[in-house]
Structure 1
Amino acid sequence: MFGLLLVVHIFASIAVIGPAFVMPIIRRSARTVGQLNFALGVTAKLTIILKIGGTVLILTGIGLMIITKLGLSQLWLNTAILLSLSMIVMIDGWIEPRMKKIFKLTAESQDHSKEIPAEFRLGIKKIVPIEIAAQLLMVVILVLMVVKPF
């Protein structure tokens, strides 16, 4: 049971990390309002993979903690859990609501062939530091899970 749970946990982490690193690149590649609207639609669909993968990741992680009887006794594990919760707050609390607002504005825009207005670009630029911080947290969490330094 441990082996299967670990494999599912690893695949779930790949399902979460992959889209999380690709989605900002997809959004930033848009040059017109129509492209931005399409990119936001694609990334909105990718968030479903993130949410399912994240849920599986949490459930399998809890299962692994129970099977190995580690519980919350390891500092590296507690740190990873705390960083994961911080990352979830960043993504669900800060990034996603702002992206929904920009998506709504682009969907309502009349001319999809013109360049992205400054207000949309500014909204996206404000999200970039939060996305980078969330991506860095993912890397740190991954390192903690693999290396188990303390």
Structure 2
Amino acid sequence: MGLFGLLLALHILSSIAIIGPAFVMPIFRRSAKTADQLHFVLGMTTKLAIIPKIGGTMLVITGVWLMILTKMGLSQMWLNVSILLSLLMVVMIDGWVEPRMKKIAKILSESQGQGHVIPAEFGLLIRKIAPIETAAQLLMIGTLVLMVVKPF
């Protein structure tokens, strides 16, 4: 297989570790109908958050290593654009989505013991997060397309 093949396989697996949770977790959150379900989903999201972080680290390491092996550097426009889109995605998720999810978790923990009703604030906060998550998902798709197609 060689070093290049191994790095490429790790790079692809790392991207899956990032993309998978980013697409699935918002769907799980939006499907919660009771406070208990929502509490479970938020707990699961918190526990699974380590997977994209490890995947992201591995993605950067293997990507840089692949750039060095192929002597590509930053000479390819598709690569520069995909790096930019990835950075924007990270800023959106870590800068906008994560703080709002922490606020939702706090509201949910404060309302524990008030039955199975999801607090009204939750719906408002989720509606504010949904467009950001959708934009981040579109950035992921764009990055993936650039990495596979290499159009320019």
- Relative to the length of structure 2, the TM-score reads 0.95
**Identity score, percent:** 69
Instruction: Give the direction of change, closer, same or farther, for the CA distance of 1:63–1:69 in structure 2 (3 Å limit).
Output: same
Q: Indicate the residue corresponding to 1:57 in structure 2.
A: 59
Aligned to 2:116: 114
User: Corresponding residue for 1:88?
Assistant: 90
Write the distance in 2 (CA, Å) between the matches of 1:137 and 1:129: 12
Q: Distance in 2 between matches of 1:121 and 1:34?
A: 15
What is the letter of the counterpart of residue 61 of structure 2? Answer: L
CA-to-aligned-CA distance 1:106-126 (integer Å, 9 cap, x gap)? 112133632212211100110
User: How far 1:45 moved relative to its partner?
Assistant: 1.5
Which of 13, 20, 23 in structure 2 is aligned with 1:21?
Answer: 23
Q: List runs of 5+ in structure 2 lacking aligned partners.
A: none
Structure 1 CA distance for aligned equivalents of residues 112 and 26 of structure 2: 24
Report the Cα offset of residue 35 of structure 1. 1.3
Any gaps of 5 or more consecutive residues in structure 1?
none
Q: Counterparts of 1:1-150 in structure 2 under 5 Å?
A: 1-111=3-113, 113-150=115-152
Most deviating of 101-110 and 66-75: 101-110
- Residues 32-72 of structure 1, C-alpha deviations (whole Å, 9 max, x = no match): 11211111111111211011111111110011111101100
Whole-Å separation in 1 of the counterparts to 2:38 and 2:27: 12
Please tell me the root mean square deviation across aligned C-alpha atoms, in Å: 1.0
8 Å CA contact 2:8–2:66 kept in 1: the answer is yes
1:18–1:112: structure 2 CA closer, same or farther, 3 Å change rule?
A: farther
Residue 31 of structure 1 aligns to a residue in which SS?
Answer: coil
